[in-house]
Structure 1
Amino acid sequence: MDLKFIAKLHLKFYATLLIVFVAFSSAQAQRRSEEEIKRIQDAKVAIITNRLNLTPEQSTGFWPVYNEYSHKRKDIHRAQRKLINDKKAEGTTDEQVLDNLKEVQELRQKELDLEKEYQNRFLKVITASQVIELYKAERTFNDMLIQRLKQR
């Protein structure tokens, strides 16, 4: 057999092996990340459930509304981060920067409008005191999360 042919086979074999290893490592990291996100979400649910002291009937009505609210709020936050992070390109004019600031303000207003809308929806299934406790529980959870991230 030709040595060049054998060398090419070995090279292809190792390249394929490397690709499989990288793909496997990436999948493992993604799985760990998804598991960590799931644990964080479970902890948030536990804190909110504990602080609100929901009855079974309230729980049935509250969680679908809260999950919808939370998802929409995440989308707004994601859009804000994208605006702030992606539009840092060099060479932007003051006018472009002002446009970005205006977009960020519009997103903040959108978040405030969302909070008002969902506060009314929450009040249909839980009490006003529980709504206040919800906001406190979210703040407590976020503070705990930040502390854990700082410890890492």
Structure 2
Amino acid sequence: MRLSLLIPGLSLVMVAGCHAQTKNPADGDEKVNIQGDGNGSVSFDLPFAKGQVKLPSGMMHNANFDIDGVKLMPGSKVTGFNVDAGGDKDATVNMKFTAPGNPGEVQKYFLDQFAAKGVTARADGSGLAGTGKDGEQFTIGLAPGDGGTAGTIVIHDKNKG
């Protein structure tokens, strides 16, 4: 699956290193954990650095996210994310978002978009579940939220090691 989770300004974390502590890559700690919220607070734990940075909240809302070319519904906003990868466990991406429209409309949007891109996806309750082109499993949970839908996306990438 071509998973693109680009949080604008993440390179800023590497460059600015706000509140960063360097780590020794020779320690063999290959785990990666990156978390962010809708207010722009991002914490990171990488093999070579650990710290936190505050990004403008607009950077989170304008984040570019897609699963095999399927983007969030127009008008959606990323409100939080967590990337946990490395070591002996499967990589997992968790993302929270808001979308305009009710859960049924958002579900239909995703099902139509996945079908157009040739990605296997099916309705699962009020959300959906699917398998990306490279075999990664994903679920999208949808629930009524303020002025639209509150959603979560979880993607599991099996450890190939």
Q: TM-score over 0.5 for the alignment?
A: no
Which structure has more RCO (C-alpha within 8 Å, separation ≥ 6)? 1
Q: TM-score, normalised by structure 2?
A: 0.24
Q: TM-score, normalised by structure 1?
A: 0.25
Q: Between Structure 1 and Structure 2, whose CA radius of gyration is higher?
A: 1
Q: Which has the higher helix share?
A: 1
Q: Which has the higher strand share?
A: 2
